[in-house]
Structure 1
Amino acid sequence: MTVPIGRFADRYGPRNVLLANCLRPAAGYLADLGVHGFTLFVVVASLLFVMDRAGQPLNQTLVGRLIVGAERNRTMGFIHALRNVGFTVGFSLAGIALATGSVTAFRWLFIGNALSFVLTFGLRCLLPSVRLSVTVAAEGGAPAPPVVAPMRNRPFVLVTAANGVLFLHDVILIMVLPLWVANHTSAPI
């Protein structure tokens, strides 16, 4: 999914595509409130997962266009740390809701998550719009080297495959854990 989203970012700018990507999860988490049954859960959770995966490269692209030098690494580190804090707070609140067994508490978790994406949308509106140039010149004004097709670049394919294995923790947190909670606990569904 990141390749088509990347093409949109090349054409319309990473900030603009990120803005759209903030509103889709907000709608998705509100849609979760109406999910009843395994099939619909898998569909909605899969769409939310795809939206989340698409946003991370867009963040990197936008930071890369707005910030230069060592500050770029520091900014990306801060973004990742803040994301981890958000996950920690979110999973803590989910644990509290699970412990109370309240359907209302679970519903407010989804509403709160949707509102967090609306807030993120508002904050990202403050960022300047940047466009990407697909043919960027190399340093010193020399022509850019030719782009190698990704599937012909063996090191890229190997790193991508390894990255896919390493990202299985996301699937466990986003898909497997909620299914386990629904099937093996007395949590309200």
Structure 2
Amino acid sequence: MILPPRGPSRVYAAMTFFDSLVPGIMLAGAVLYFTEVVHLGAVQVGSGLSVAALAGVAAALPAGRLGDRIGHRRLLIGISLLRAVILGAYQVVGSYPVFLTVACLAGLAESGVAPVRQAYLGTITTPNNRVTTLAFNRVVRNIGATLSTPALGVALAVDSPAAFRTLIAAGAVSVLVVTLIAIRLP
């Protein structure tokens, strides 16, 4: 695999890697966490995550516009920090209303960060290397998601509230690392 040149594109790829750990941890891990540890019903979790996804649809366009106004890097740092806090807040969920609130905030932040990341990437690439950089980051995202999935297997094998809480905390820490990497970007 050919690495991007030293500089912002390579730092961005590192950020992409840590960001891609979250879906592997959270997609199935969150469902198990909320059903096995928080003791929400499957219908509650499914409906809550569906509402959160719908709420997230509303975030992309305003986030892109806000990034155009205040700067994509600045907004990327802010949303990443917010995502880390929201994922950490999953630890205090104890009821359906709190779950729904936190899940909707997570949906908004997750959907809002995608266009900001893409727009920022456009500022650190040129038309000559943009497609290659996007392709490289797609590969990095797939590798990260694949490598994080075994963490769910470990939590399932251990099958304890602490294991699932650790899994959720790992997702929050991964996004915090994304924030710290984003700070290094120009």
Match runs of 1:6-85 below 5 Å: 6-85=64-143
**Aligned partners of 2:133 and 2:185: how far apart in 1?**
14
Query: Residue 98 of structure 1: which of 151, 156, 162 is its match?
Result: 156
**Aligned partners of 1:34 and 1:117: how far apart in 2?**
18
Runs of 4+ residues deviating >4 angstroms: none
Structure 1 counterpart of 2:32: none
Q: Secondary structure at the match of 2:184?
A: coil
Q: Match for 2:124: what amino acid?
A: L
State the Cα deviation string for residues 115-135 of structure 1 (Å, max 9, x = none).
Answer: 11111111111111xxxxxxx
State the Cα deviation string for residues 150-169 of structure 1 (Å, max 9, x = none).
Answer: xxxxxxxxxxxxxxxxxxxx
RCO higher in 1 or 2 (8 Å CA, sep ≥ 6)? 2
Q: How many residues align?
A: 128
RMSD across aligned positions (CA): 1.5
Percent sequence identity is 30
User: Normalized per residue, which structure has more helix?
Assistant: 2
Q: Which runs of 5+ in 1 are unaligned?
A: 129-189
TM-score computed with the length of structure 1 as normaliser = 0.62
Structure 1 counterpart of 2:22: none
**Aligned partners of 1:19 and 1:114: how far apart in 2?**
14
State the Cα deviation string for residues 20-47 of structure 1 (Å, max 9, x = none).
Answer: 0110111011100011133322322222
Check 1:104–1:38 CA distance in 2 against 1; reply closer, same or farther (3 A cut): same
Q: Which range moves more in the overlay, 68-77 or 83-92?
A: 83-92
TM-score computed with the length of structure 2 as normaliser = 0.63
